[in-house]
Chain A
């Protein structure tokens, strides 16, 4: 009898699990639980460094994450932009992803402070550039050799913000939002040769990948995944999408842990009887 239960437990149709997961994830959005969010030192360091940016200093937001990663990266990017706007920093955006412009438009729509900013004077969007690490290296030595105009076709020399910005020396810091290894490009081509501070605003997978760099002081901060976004939202005292999503994420983890435990128990119980 008991063997039957254990065997059946291992033969649960995966579609049943997917349905439970999909429906289960919706519940916290309808009835939020409000679990507490602890702030990691890596996120706090990112916030503190952004707070050190002085008025008029230039920060770069490099978007190497696609629309598919909005759930993970967007809240952090929006929170970082809000801090930069509060500091009256100038912001330059560019992307190595072809759908990067959609992400930029979304960020602009979610940062109310940008309405008081003047495009071309306080912030600018250059859009896509090719070449990945080669392009990043070239941007360090001469931005004008990569971009001759902004995303909307305005010549770079007509943009007020670019008047005194030519290369890496005119940039205060870089926020690299990526789902892959784009942050490595900035570490190799901007931080190592020129000492430009670099931070990672990435997906959860980047947490373990870039933690050694943060610990070693190569990255000045990190905000990874929805949790990073929720931490940033807590730090700027503006609960947003990431804060709401955290309950759903926690529920999904609990469900996954239960499934993993049950399947392992089932495996162990039937192992000797095979």
Chain B
């Protein structure tokens, strides 16, 4: 629905104007309008991030501390200790919260890695389809060979010649295929974003309905 109130219209046209300022870089060349929009975008984003961080800290740590939950003094102090990274004499203090952060993240991450990311994937790769059609069997064989050859490619302790020359070369092709698919999807994502902006452009100009 196309906005009718003045603030809605102002927001819509400001958005379009800023979008065109940003697009003036690829469509024309770097210019003052592009730099203005870029700086405005970064500044606004940073301001929102800072406000969100302050609000979150207040909500999850400072408010409970004010209600007598003294344990919350620990994360608050650890958080402040992070900023000592900026002070050369006390930089060492920041290593403790950093170590806690990295340690807890690794510990939590490792908890759920083994089964879904390794065991289940291996089992799925080596399990033949039951009652599947020709395509399912083709996929099974393709993935099995692809996985085997791709893993072989990373055998770096022996030279890739003799019996393993062709499997490793095939592995390289599979890796290139995989990376190509990933890159293709990346391009698809960018095109979708551009299509979204093209649609917005037409909607603001009332060429197509909003």
Contacts and interface: CB of A to CB of B under 8 A. Distances in A.
A134 B108 contact: yes
B1 to A, nearest CB: 9
Interface string A25-42: 110011000000000000
Interface secondary structure of B, over-half rule = helix
A253 B188 contact: yes
Contact of A226 (B29, B192, B202, B207): B192
Given A30-B207, A249-B191, A25 B198 contact: yes
B202 A26 contact: yes
A245 B181 contact: no
Interface residues of B, number: 49
A30 B124 contact: no
Interface stretch (A77-85, A206-214, A266-274): A206-214
A215 to B, nearest CB: 6
Contacts, number: 142
B108 A25 contact: no
B148 to A, nearest CB: 15
B121 A216 contact: yes
B194 A21 contact: yes
A16 B30 CA distance: 15
Contacts of B196: 70-71, 245
B26 A15 contact: yes
B103 to A, nearest CB: 11
Q: Which 10 A-B pairs have the closest CB atoms?
A: A188-B112, A71-B196, A216-B124, A192-B112, A204-B188, A248-B195, A25-B198, A252-B191, A98-B52, A204-B185
6 contacts: A98-B52, A146-B60, A188-B111, A205-B182, A212-B121, A217-B120
